[in-house]
Amino acid sequence: MAITITKEQLWEAVLGELELQLTRANFTTWFKNTFPIDLADGTLVVGVPGNFHKSYLESNCYAKISKALHDLSRGEIKKVSFIIQVRKSPSPVPTKPTVVANPAPAESTRATAPNSLEINPRYTFTTFIVGKNNELAHAACQAVARKPGEVYNPLFLYGGVGLGKTHLLQAIGNEIRANDHNKRILYISSERFTNDFIQAVRSGEGEKFKNLYRSVDLLLIDDIQFLAGKEQTQEEFFHTFNALHQNNKQIVITSDRPPKAIAALEHRLISRFEWGMIADIASPDLETRMAILEHKCREKNVNLSREAIQYIASHVHHNVRELEGVLNSITAKSQLSGAAATLDDIKQILHSVTPTKHSGAVTPKDVIQAVSRFYDVAIELLTGESRRKEYVLPRQVAMYLMREELRASYPTIGTSMGGRDHTTVMHGCDKITKVLVDDERLQKDLNLLRQQLYIT
Ligand code: ADP
Ligand code: MG
């Protein structure tokens, strides 16, 4: 069968599969700035940002990628090659904060290219499925969107990865913008806020930074947990918060945990966050997962039987992002074959894209043993009290792996690691996540550890 898929579609489908096989941190590190360049002679050429990425992907991900290509193209495309090239057009991943003010129709079409699409127009209340898990958060967001600055200020949303926090946060932005084009709306992640702040201070533009943030009508700040431990940025954020709040400007914050559980967050900020409304988002139940799938199928114009939907919903339960990933793989495959996916196809896809199912056998004990062997640190020391550097890092790595690979809860990890408090575990996991961003050595070590966990 001739291939009708474009290189973009193919690479997107491959990324969809890899996203499910890798941890989020790994996936982001290695694949964020990759893009398809050419598709010819059974080979997909992919652009990567630098030599380090190229050699890492070649030695660690080649097999995974070529297998995904092979599966997705029914054997027509088998090879991938990487070349170093920086993408010319901006990546669709939000990188810069944008104040969106008064985009008059003509102007907005002109301004679509660079920064103006920070808020994803697909993330609206209409495309958000409400279930028991998120109804409070959803209702609070709608109330805030209707009366910004008047009902709950701040609104603080928290919940696990892929459960719709960013979606709801941006839905507020989309709704407020639709109601009033003059509102100045700023959506930003707390990481970006931190980087911009540091940058501004360094280049002597601190005032400009302050003025920008303090002049908005709506501040949407995503993943506030990353402010943990960043004292100067917290101080700046505290003043921004106060300035906006005093002027009845709406602030909405998301986090992966409640304010009190963010270790190393100043008490005065925690207390500010508790002024307004705090709403959590939990994992969707089976019924909601089915409703979400049905909705996404309609959105994508995909036809799946009720039986198929039920099958997927009962086998994929971690989060909504994962549900979407599986649906994308199914869609990509049926586009390639030109026929609707059968239940058998779906079973096969689920089998190949959810490696966590096979890793059901890996336990916290396995992780501790693997880490102990890898770093040559005795188990008693790994789970013990000593704060010497050579024990602390392996200890945090063990916590991180339990969290990322086994999806164990923080208290469970604490118990496995010699009876530690869950906040210590959170701190450990955060620490590794942060260090991983630019510590190549640690990235390699973690990949080796993962291989050992799953191979033995
Ligand atoms: P988080 O920010 O909590 O990690 P996201 O908001 O990025 O999660 O959601 C992940 C994906 O799942 C997004 O594509 C989002 O549109 C989708 N999603 C999450 N919850 C829902 C829902 N209740 N209804 C529809 N789509 C959802
Ligand atoms: Mg998010």
Concatenating the DSSP letter of every residue in 130-155 gives P-TTTHHHHHHHHHHHHSTTTS-SSE
Which ligand is nearest the CA of 225, by number?
Answer: 2
Evaluate: CB of 138 within 6 angstroms of ligand 1. no
Confidence at residue 107, expressed as pLDDT on a 0 to 100 scale: 34
Which ligand is nearest the CA of 222, by number?
Answer: 2
For residue 168, the ligand 1 atom closest to its alpha carbon is 6
Confidence at residue 353, expressed as pLDDT on a 0 to 100 scale: 63
Which ligand is nearest the CA of 167, by number?
Answer: 1
CA of 93 to the centre of ligand 2 (A): 12
Which of 122, 167, 319 should be mutated for ligand 1, with most atoms under 8 A from CB?
167
Evaluate: CB of 273 within 6 angstroms of ligand 1. no
Evaluate: CB of 166 within 6 angstroms of ligand 1. yes
In eight-state DSSP terms, residue 342 is P
In eight-state DSSP terms, residue 91 is P
Which of 320, 322, 323 should be mutated for ligand 1, with most atoms under 8 A from CB?
320
CA of 382 to the centre of ligand 1 (A): 37
Q: Read off the tokens for 4.
A: 């009708």
Rounded Cα distance between 304 and 286, Å, is 17
For 39, phi then psi, to 5°, come to -135, 105
Q: Read off the tokens for 82.
A: 């990487």
Evaluate: CB of 163 within 6 angstroms of ligand 1. yes
Evaluate: CB of 162 within 6 angstroms of ligand 1. yes
Confidence at residue 105, expressed as pLDDT on a 0 to 100 scale: 38
Which ranges in 51-189 belong to alpha helices (H)? 51-56, 62-72, 105-110, 135-146, 165-179
CA of 320 to the centre of ligand 1 (A): 6
CA of 319 to the centre of ligand 1 (A): 8
Rounded Cα distance between 118 and 106, Å, is 18
Confidence at residue 445, expressed as pLDDT on a 0 to 100 scale: 82
For residue 122, the ligand 1 atom closest to its alpha carbon is 16
Give ∠ CA 270-271-274 in degrees, rounded to 5. Answer: 90
Burial class (CB in 10 A: 0-12, 13-18, 19+), 348: middle
456: helix, coil or strand? coil
CA of 157 to the centre of ligand 2 (A): 11
pTM, two decimals, is: 0.61
For residue 254, the ligand 1 atom closest to its alpha carbon is 2
What is the residue with the minimal CA distance to atom 19 of ligand 1? 164
Tokens 């004990």 belong to residue? 365
Rounded Cα distance between 137 and 166, Å, is 12
Confidence at residue 217, expressed as pLDDT on a 0 to 100 scale: 94
Which ligand is nearest the CA of 296, by number?
Answer: 1
Rounded Cα distance between 383 and 368, Å, is 8
Q: Read off the tokens for 428.
A: 């450990």
CA of 297 to the centre of ligand 1 (A): 15
For residue 160, the ligand 1 atom closest to its alpha carbon is 3
- The answer to whether 223 and 190 are in contact (CB under 8 A) is yes
For residue 320, the ligand 1 atom closest to its alpha carbon is 12
Evaluate: CB of 128 within 6 angstroms of ligand 1. yes
For residue 223, the ligand 1 atom closest to its alpha carbon is 2
Evaluate: CB of 167 within 6 angstroms of ligand 1. yes
- The answer to whether 148 and 217 are in contact (CB under 8 A) is yes
Rounded Cα distance between 421 and 144, Å, is 35
Evaluate: CB of 164 within 6 angstroms of ligand 1. yes
β-strands 43-48, 35-40 pairing: antiparallel
For residue 138, the ligand 1 atom closest to its alpha carbon is 23
Query: How many other β-carbons are positioned within 10 Å of the β-carbon of residue 419?
Result: 8
For residue 256, the ligand 1 atom closest to its alpha carbon is 3
Q: Please list the ranges in the chain whose pLDDT falls under 70.
A: 1-4, 25, 88-117, 352-361, 451, 454-456
Confidence at residue 419, expressed as pLDDT on a 0 to 100 scale: 94
Which of 163, 189, 290 should be mutated for ligand 1, with most atoms under 8 A from CB?
163
